[in-house]
Structure 1
């Protein structure tokens, strides 16, 4: 594996030298912004190298051998929450759709913390008891059905496909800030290669280590832009804030907000990257300690809201909503500070992308392709990750949707895993047949309501689908015979 990674890195270096020889990126024109950005990426790679461990089985590759302490579990789990979808998507959503979007975006993450405090240790114990590395592993072991495992794995794989594209959409916005003459596809594939190298070095442990640097940069960058926006606010406001924050007439009301908070909080707790983080933790105590402090990160949302408000009332206006945060940062920060901000935003995508890629690879290699040994699982995992990154990068080049819309689409499907996960966590005697029927019904109802744009009291279509799913699973007749 390691020689392959070294060869990949040498190939990337050769490509850079060739482009430099052709004066696509002359050294004399490199700005402080570019230098700061590239230095951070190099530092992240150096950090990833410190996580390298010789040998290691598939468990070490996909779930860090279940040895992440409280700090590393904390930064890895927070990385799943505060991805580029948050850093760029939250202010972009407020800019495009008004203040109502902020309620459900903040609400579902805040609700997920106490739910996770109760649910995660129970899932960890269940997973440790049967040696699970993925949620489909857990379904097979607890419900005794290979068919359910395969169907559920296929569902999760389909749900994860747009999530990778959303990270690359964010990276496209970041890379667009530079005046590089390299083609956008080459830049995105370069970012994919760096993420692939993270994974190849030591699997899930490398993104966890890099998250330490990412979290520091994201925290400092968001705070710096918000403080600068607050200081600059009195000067040059083009319009008042209150009318700018009014929700669009087409935006759904309170019932949609509340139902979305409920669905996405539960869905977040059973998403494949979250479950991989749970199984990577050293103990249930490590998980609960981390969950206690995670709400402190909610301080980022008021700061991002300030940035969105500044962008709504000042010039220059962002070229598109997802560029709101970066447009404000570019106007308010010095060149080197903007470069560090771009690096933090890029790492927030790369770390999460690594987690998503590993979660997808584990599901395919363990639950969809049968009878692979440890070495084969790791080899298949790298191939799957590479293919996933390339397809996601290319898909992002042709997607024109808000990051928050892709986020909603992901939760529409993954939330239907909640009944089965609750049955396992709380040791409810539910049959595989009922879990499968509930899953099929939930997905069908959610798809019909969403694709048909059918309104039921203005609520998120995933909620009635989830309730029907739970009714099938936990009805009295659902008990095992």
Structure 2
């Protein structure tokens, strides 16, 4: 009972902040991108809140428990490699977004390349690969709360998560995930550190924990050959696509300046300090919670928490896990609503856009409930291939940044070819000796774009976003900002 009370208190604190964040949300711009006014602290909390989902506290320890050091190197490695890419890439995307009054990446493509086919292709790609993200969060939420023994049924767990996410998304738009992430991050970091501290109190040293794990498994080393190739190739491929997730790009568009975006990237790696604590818990679980197989490995962190923590702290862990899922769920729902209303549909006026987004959010979350409860494994393949899809977007993004004579239709064909290749290889179960299936898919995307450049080049080179030349007047859109933006003038990159 004590655990349920502390769990409820954590959620109530989050709900209070979510409702508070509604202040000042009046226009469509306020709802979708926070009035483009987020400072460094709020933007930092928003972005890390969306990056570190329930997979951090559930998936990472479970993956280490099941696969060992290779999983840990991959998981931490692609995030760490992604940060320096984001340091250079995200301010440029922000610059393009401000120039074209964009909210989404397809908005940027439409404004820069003047291409409806490329906009629609990119938007559909984002929607398709974002749909299973909600089910992933709800499934993780169910695993966490059931594993912690709070007594909720799967239906009750899913309804709690969706109801809170729906309130956040409908009332406050993007501000809710930002504000609620303050509570979520505190609960998450506190839960991870406190479980690790209890583990260390039961052992003389970290060396002993690893040694005992090594006695019952081979999880402390990465084997040469196939395992190493898979780890390295997947790590590099996903690092390239790390910041192509559409809810992260929409979050970046809420910043008040490119300098603010860059500043947040400097401090993002600080959150990686939680992973040593998670590793300690995961290796401790290998020797003390044996026999977890398949989906049960996701219970590694949860089982250790239940065995070691007093009941009230179990409630805090449950609250942190729940908010990890709810924040990303709300952000994903808002992002899909935005993509559909702005980029898939055409001609939605500004006065009706917010209403369209809200309707789409409700439908998206309703579908997620049904899929999670009725066919919980249906989206497994798409979840595993999300990076295969999103990473394909890096090609038109690079052509946007550096300029090119590639036709927009060719870029769209490259996206379709890359995605079709990755999904086909995955569904057919093709074995490339450990090489990530995303690598040949991205390679085909590059080949299609390269051949298109040679065979059907544009007459003029598109402008490179990275240059210091004076920006062209922004293209008007349903979410407007002044033509002469003083903040934009400061942010010439």
User: Any unmatched runs of 5+ in structure 2?
Assistant: 460-493
SS of 2:403's equivalent? coil
Give the one of 210, 214, 217 matched to 1:242: 214
Give the Å deviation of 1:64.
1.4
Cα distance per residue 1:30-86 (max 9 Å; x no partner): x11000000111111111122113452222212212211111111111112211011
Q: Does 1:192 align with 2:166?
A: no
Give the one of 328, 335, 357 matched to 1:359: 335
Please name the residue that 1:412 is paired with: 388
Q: Does 1:301 align with 2:275?
A: yes
1-structure distance, mates of 2:48, 2:379: 18
Q: Does 1:391 align with 2:367?
A: yes
Within a 5 Å distance, the mapping from 1:86-97 to structure 2 comes to: 86-97=56-67
1-structure distance, mates of 2:284, 2:39: 39
Please name the residue that 1:72 is paired with: 42
Q: CA RMSD in A?
A: 2.6
Q: Does 1:473 align with 2:443?
A: no
Equivalent pairs, count: 451
Cα contact 1:122–1:426 (8 A) shared by 2: no
> What TM-score do the two structures reach when normalised by structure 2?
0.86
Cα contact 1:412–1:462 (8 A) shared by 2: yes
Within a 5 Å distance, the mapping from 1:11-410 to structure 2 comes to: 31-177=1-147, 183-233=153-203, 240-246=212-218, 252-315=226-289, 320-398=296-374, 407-410=383-386
Cα distance per residue 1:131-161 (max 9 Å; x no partner): 1111111111112111221122111111011
Cα distance per residue 1:355-377 (max 9 Å; x no partner): 11111111001111111122322
Cα contact 2:392–2:418 (8 A) shared by 1: yes
Shift in alpha-carbon separation, 1:402–1:88, aligned structure 2, 3 A: farther
2-structure distance, mates of 1:338, 1:330: 7
Please name the residue that 1:25 is paired with: none
Please name the residue that 2:465 is paired with: none
Shift in alpha-carbon separation, 1:251–1:181, aligned structure 2, 3 A: farther
Shift in alpha-carbon separation, 1:405–1:154, aligned structure 2, 3 A: closer
2-structure distance, mates of 1:123, 1:243: 49
Cα contact 2:119–2:343 (8 A) shared by 1: yes
User: Any unmatched runs of 5+ in structure 1?
Assistant: 1-30
> What TM-score do the two structures reach when normalised by structure 1?
0.88
Shift in alpha-carbon separation, 1:291–1:249, aligned structure 2, 3 A: closer
Give the Å deviation of 1:400.
5.9
Shift in alpha-carbon separation, 1:314–1:343, aligned structure 2, 3 A: same
1-structure distance, mates of 2:216, 2:50: 30
